[in-house]
Structure 1
Amino acid sequence: MRLLEECYKDEFDDLPDNEYIFGHEDGQKTILSPYRILINHYNKYQHEYSDLFYNNLDIPEFWYVYPEWDNGKIMYHGDKKANIYFKEPIVKRNVHKVEWLDNGFNYKTDYYDLYGLKFFTEYYDQDLGLMMTSFYTDDNKEVLSIHHKNEAFLVNTKNKTNVFYSYKEFVQYVESIIRR
C-alpha cells in the first residue's frame, strides 16, 4: 500500500482503492509515499528505526536547547530561535519537528523521520504562507523541492534537474524509478 498526498486526491480518480491511501506525509509513517521512495532511492545507507533525542539536534555553537513543558526550545542570548515538538510519548523527548523563528516568525520547519534524520523542510513567507518544501537524503542533500505557488516538483539527480508540473507526473516518475 502506498500513501499519496490528500491535497492532490483529485488527480487520481482512476486509482484502485486497495493500492493507495490518501493522507499527509510527515516522516512518521511506515507506509511508502512517493517522497519516501525517492529519498530511499538516493540515500547512501539503509537505516533502522531510530528517533532523534532533542539534545542531539545540530545547532550553532553557543546556542542551547532545553525542554519546556511538553516540548522544547532553542535559545541564543535570551532570544528564542526555535520551538521543538516531541513525538509521542513526549516523555522520551524525541524530535518530531523544529520550527525555526526570526523575531517570532516561523520562517521554516524541519521534520524528522522514523530514522531520526531530517526528512523535509517547509519554508514560509510572512505574507504568502507556505512557499516551498525540500526533501533531503541521509547526507543532507536536497533531492526534491516542491514550489507550492506554481505547483512545480523539482527532482535533483546527479546530472540534472527534472521538473514536473503536476503531482501525478511526479508520482509517475517515482514509480518509474521503482520499475528500473
Structure 2
Amino acid sequence: MGHRTLVAYDRDGYDLHYAHWGVDPADLTPETPFGGPPDDGTVRERAADLLDPSGGRLTDERRTAVDPDPLATGLTFEEACARLDPVEHEALYVVDPDFAVRRYLVFALRDDRAGPRTALVGYDDARDAAYLRGWLAGARAVRAVAAPAPGAVLAALRWLDPGRGTVVYPLDDERGA
C-alpha cells in the first residue's frame, strides 16, 4: 500500500506533491528538496518475481522520494487540505521556505453533527505517530461501545495536546470551528 504522503511546499501559496512511500522529513533540504531515493526496494524485489514490468512504472527508477512534478500549485492551505483523502493519504508534510517540516497524520472522523471530517494531527516522530494512531483506535472503540455525545472524539482530539496544532477539515462555519 505504501506510506502515501502529500507534501505541501510553501512557495507564495502551496505546491502540492506526492510521495508514495513517504519521505523522511530530514531528507527535505534546500540541497535535496524532494528527498533521497524512495524506500521501495522490498516492493520492487517482490514484484520482480510476479510481474514483467517492461514499460511499466516499476521500470522507472525514481530518483527522489517526492515526485518532483506537482499535483497542483499556488494553493491556499485550505485548498491543499481539500485534496487530502483520509482513506488514501497517511500524512501531510508542510515544508516552510526554510525547509522546516511540520508533520500531520491524516485521520478520518465521523462527526454526527457535521458528517465526515478529516483531522490533521501534528506529530514529532514515528513513536509519536504510533501513539496517536493507537489513541484514535481506542477513542473509536469507546465511541462504538459507549456512544458518547456527538462530536466527543473530535473534541477529545483537540484537547489531547493543544500544542500539536490539530486542524479539522472541512471547517464548521455554523459553530465557528
> When the two structures are superposed, what TM-score results if normalisation uses the length of structure 1?
0.28
Taking structure 2 as the reference length, the TM-score comes to 0.28
Q: Which has the higher helix share?
A: 2
